[in-house]
Amino acid sequence: MQTFEKLTPGDNLGTNRQYFDDEVATDWLELFPKDEKNLPELPSGMISAITMRAYC
């Protein structure tokens, strides 16, 4: 398990590929409908969700 004490700046924790397609956008907009004005760009609030998914 990675803990803060074990993390070193610049360490590669692995790779993760996620796609932002229409299905993902639809799911996101169910939670945050006001973000529709920012599409087709990735909503800035989604960065946290992507980071958490990648870390998991």
Q: Which of 54, 23, 25 is nearest to 39 (CA)?
A: 25
Q: What is the DSSP string of the chain?
A: ---GGG--TT-----------HHHHHHHHHH-GGGGGGTTSPPTTHHHHHHHHHH-
pLDDT, tens digit (0-9, with 9 covering 90-100), for 28-51: 999 999 999 989 888 888 888 888
Confidence check: pLDDT of 19 > 90 = no
Whether the per-residue pLDDT at 1 is higher than 90: the answer is no
Please report, for the chain, the start and end positions of each structural domain, with discontinuous segments joined by +.
18-55
Q: Provide mean pLDDT across the span 4-15.
A: 86
Kindly tell me if the per-residue pLDDT of 56 is higher than 80.
no
Which pLDDT does position 27 carry in this prediction? Answer: 93
